[in-house]
């Protein structure tokens, strides 16, 4: 058996780690087969009940490392109060962790998970807390809000996780984290995960963790220099169309398309075959002999596209593979490095293309940070590009057929007979033959009609930074020109500069350095922002709300935003300001619809 068709040696499986049956069923349903290094090292320790300090980079599979043992030990009928709390630095990461918990708990009846983060409505959070939740995933600021208001009871907490602790401290959440830790029961299990171990982390672990087990995982994050890395921003429903266009315009020899689950590989391979591509799927359910047969077909050119999961592609070494497409972006950096390493073999150049949904921007940033590489953003191939490629290939087909002189003689006589018999020009006969060859499908891709109303850029409301920690005094570092914008919320809506910065930065993908002065007036506010806001930023801010009200961002033609009324520059948001953060005394439905 050749080495390139055999799976690489693997370590322990999830079955070996001691997880509960319901959690194991969920893992298998999701198509996960072998744990990552951090998971294999951490899960048994947490299941023993010990505290853990995990030193691992973002994107190494930390979420499953703490979520799976926590869910294995939860009792949905023990109490209505939270049994597990996960603190995350950003709202985006909190959402990702919450979604992971829900996936892993899909076979655990009664388990309820609640995300709590800044910028979201309090009403649903309060309702869920009153009904009872088992796992709370939140950002420190919003958790503190609920603790201050008495709406979050942590008296029966059994598990506490600090995810990306160093990032939370660097964002200014140190005081909040210590307050939250002091609020929780003394008898609890704590897991702290951090990419680095600064002095503050050491002090935190020494004070709040009991004889923790330190688990350190070094990631293999080097990417080959001969592989060109690109990415395409695309919504999930657009992925198949995007892949089809890329297949049309890219000059590839053979390709691996990576999907996250076994079922997705089968579905995608079937859809590609329906579009005329020689595609097949391999995953953990494929027998070894069938896997070898499929890989051999990829080698000899009878198969061009392999749709695979991470596990199924281990040990795959086929020189023909010129392209790797991450149809589903992997959730850890090591998997990304392993995937794109399937191309560029034997010193040849290779290409990798990753599909990134708006909610997965954080994964892309993690990949850039830890691989020390910056994939170039590409655009979806246009209709003109696709059509130019189709016409070029049609020309190449004719040229190739003309070179086969021995086959042309018979058909030349057939066409000559038809032209003579029916008095039809030879050009018309050629066009008719092309029509017969192509069938009912149109040869050229048609441009979709533009919608009457401006189409909003597909985005994720929670794609960027979470709620902002209180701001220290510092000046802007951006030199870009600013303009004054008006938003439709003011003092009577009980807004503060930090709420304005948080909402606009979160929704519009801006940085703190992009903000100038903020002036809060009775019924509106003036905000200095970059003068050349991108169209996607405008689109993203169309439905942004502060204190439940649409901000209705527009350029202000009056005087610049003054420093009076709460200028953001140089202002410090102290803890006492938390009382005026828009927490509603009584939930009120918005007057508008939609």
Q: What angle, rounded to 10 degrees, do the helices at 91-104 and 62-73 form?
A: 50
Answer whether residue 303 shows pLDDT above 80.
yes
Sheet arrangement for strand 227-233: 279-282, 305-308, 254-258, 321-326, 350-356, 227-233, 376-377
Answer whether residue 342 shows pLDDT above 50.
yes
Q: What stretches of 493-549 show up as alpha helix (H) in DSSP?
A: 497-508, 535-540
The per-residue pLDDT for 352 is: 94
Specify the residue for token string 């009584």: 586
Q: Please count the other Cβ atoms lying within 10 Å of the Cβ belonging to residue 151.
A: 15
Among the residue ranges 1-10, 72-81, 192-201, the one predicted with the least confidence is 1-10
> What are the pLDDT digits (tens) for 258-279?
998 888 999 999 999 988 899 9
**Three-state DSSP class for residue 344:** coil
Answer whether residue 380 shows pLDDT above 70.
yes
**φ and ψ of 552, to 5 deg:** 50, 60
The per-residue pLDDT for 43 is: 95
Domains 36-216 and 227-381 share a fold: yes
Q: Which residues of 397-416 are buried (b: 16+ CB within 10 A; e: fewer)?
A: eeeeeeeeeeeeeeeeeebe
The whole-number average pLDDT for the span 152-158 is 94
- Reading the block at residue 328, the tokens are 């589903």
Among the residue ranges 156-160, 439-443, 530-534, the one predicted with the least confidence is 439-443
Is the CATH number 3.40.50.300 carried by domain 227-381? yes
Is the CATH number 3.40.50.300 carried by domain 36-216? yes
> What are the pLDDT digits (tens) for 75-117?
888 888 999 999 998 877 888 799 889 999 999 988 999 999 8
Segments making up each domain of the chain, as ranges: 36-216, 227-381, 384-438, 482-580
Q: Which residues lie across from 519 on neighbouring strands?
A: 526
What CATH number does domain 482-580 carry, 3.30.70.330, 3.40.50.2300, 3.10.20.30, 3.60.110.10? 3.30.70.330
- What's the sign of the alpha-carbon dihedral 312, 315, 321, 326? positive
Among candidate residues 150, 112, 108, 157, the one with its CA nearest the CA of residue 132: 112
- Are residues 306 and 279 in contact, defined by beta-carbon separation less than 8 angstroms? yes
Answer whether residue 356 shows pLDDT above 70.
yes
- Are residues 495 and 489 in contact, defined by beta-carbon separation less than 8 angstroms? yes
- Are residues 460 and 358 in contact, defined by beta-carbon separation less than 8 angstroms? yes
The per-residue pLDDT for 10 is: 52
- Label the pairing between strands 518-520 and 525-530: antiparallel
Based on the number of CB atoms within 10 Å of its own CB, is 286 exposed (0-12), middle (13-18) or buried (19 or more)? buried
Best-predicted range by mean pLDDT (155-164, 354-363, 517-526, 537-546): 155-164
**CA pair distance 514, 508, nearest whole angstrom:** 11
**CA pair distance 40, 43, nearest whole angstrom:** 6
The whole-number average pLDDT for the span 285-294 is 82
3-state secondary structure 49-106: CCCEEEECCCCCCHHHHHHHHHHHHCCCCCCCCCCEEEECCCHHHHHHHHHHHHHHCC
What's the mean pLDDT when you consider all of the chain?
Answer: 79
């Amino acid at each position: 058996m050749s080495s390139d068709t055999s799976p690489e040696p693997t370590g322990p499986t999830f079955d070996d780690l001691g997880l509960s049956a319901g959690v194991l069923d969920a893992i298998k349903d999701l198509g996960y087969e072998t744990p990552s290094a951090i998971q294999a090292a951490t899960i048994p320790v947490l299941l023993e009940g010990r505290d853990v300090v995990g030193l691992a980079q973002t994107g190494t599979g930390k979420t499953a490392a703490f979520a799976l043992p926590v869910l294995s030990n939860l009792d949905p009928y023990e109490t209505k109060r939270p049994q597990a709390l996960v603190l995350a630095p950003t709202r985006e990461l909190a959402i990702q962790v919450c979604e992971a918990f829900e996936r892993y708990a899909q076979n655990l009846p009664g388990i309820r998970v609640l995300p709590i983060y800044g910028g979201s409505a309090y009403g649903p959070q309060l309702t869920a807390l009153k009904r009872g939740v088992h796992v709370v995933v939140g950002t420190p600021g919003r958790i503190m809000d609920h603790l201050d208001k008495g709406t979050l009871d942590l008296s029966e907490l059994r598990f506490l996780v600090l995810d990306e602790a160093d990032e939370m401290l660097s964002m200014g959440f140190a005081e909040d984290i210590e307050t939250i830790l002091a609020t929780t029961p003394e008898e609890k299990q704590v897991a702290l995960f951090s990419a680095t171990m600064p002095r503050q982390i050491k002090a935190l672990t020494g004070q709040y963790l009991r004889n923790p087990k330190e688990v350190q995982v070094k990631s293999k994050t080097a990417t080959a220099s001969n592989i060109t890395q690109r990415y395409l921003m695309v919504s999930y429903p657009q992925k198949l169309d995007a892949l089809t266009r890329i297949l049309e315009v890219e000059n590839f020899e053979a390709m691996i398309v990576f999907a996250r689950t076994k079922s997705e590989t089968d579905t995608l391979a079937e859809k590609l075959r329906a579009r005329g591509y020689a595609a097949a799927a391999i995953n953990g359910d494929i027998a070894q002999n069938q896997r070898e047969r499929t890989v051999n077909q990829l080698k000899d050119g009878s198969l061009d596209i392999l749709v695979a999961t991470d596990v199924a592609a281990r040990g795959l070494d086929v020189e023909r593979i010129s392209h790797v497409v991450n149809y589903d972006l992997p959730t850890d950096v090591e998997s990304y490095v392993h995937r794109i390493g399937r191309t560029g073999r034997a010193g040849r150049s290779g290409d990798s293309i990753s599909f990134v949904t708006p909610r997965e921007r954080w994964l892309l940033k993690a990949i850039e940070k830890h691989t020390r590489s910056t994939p170039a953003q590409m655009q979806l191939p246009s209709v003109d590009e696709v059509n130019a490629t189709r016409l070029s290939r049609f020309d190449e087909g004719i040229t190739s057929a003309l070179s086969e002189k021995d086959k042309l003689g018979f058909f030349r006589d057939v066409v000559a007979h038809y032209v003579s018999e029916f008095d039809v020009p030879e050009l018309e006969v050629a066009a008719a033959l092309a029509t017969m060859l192509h069938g009912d499908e149109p040869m050229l891709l048609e441009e979709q009609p533009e919608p009457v109303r401006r189409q909003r850029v597909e985005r994720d409301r929670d794609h960027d930074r979470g709620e902002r920690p209180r701001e220290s005094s510092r000046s802007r570092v951006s030199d870009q020109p600013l303009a004054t914008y008006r938003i439709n919320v003011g003092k009577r809506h009980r807004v503060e500069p930090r709420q304005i910065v948080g909402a606009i930065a979160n929704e519009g993908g801006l940085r703190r350095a992009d903000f100038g002065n903020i002036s809060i007036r009775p019924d509106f506010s003036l905000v200095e922002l970059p003068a050349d806001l991108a169209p996607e930023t405008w689109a993203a801010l169309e439905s942004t709300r502060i204190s439940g009200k649409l901000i209705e961002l527009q350029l202000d033609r009056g005087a610049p935003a003054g420093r009076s009324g709460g200028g953001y520059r140089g202002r410090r948001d102290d803890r006492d300001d938390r009382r005026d953060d828009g927490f509603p005394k009584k939930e009120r439905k918005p007057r508008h619809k939609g």
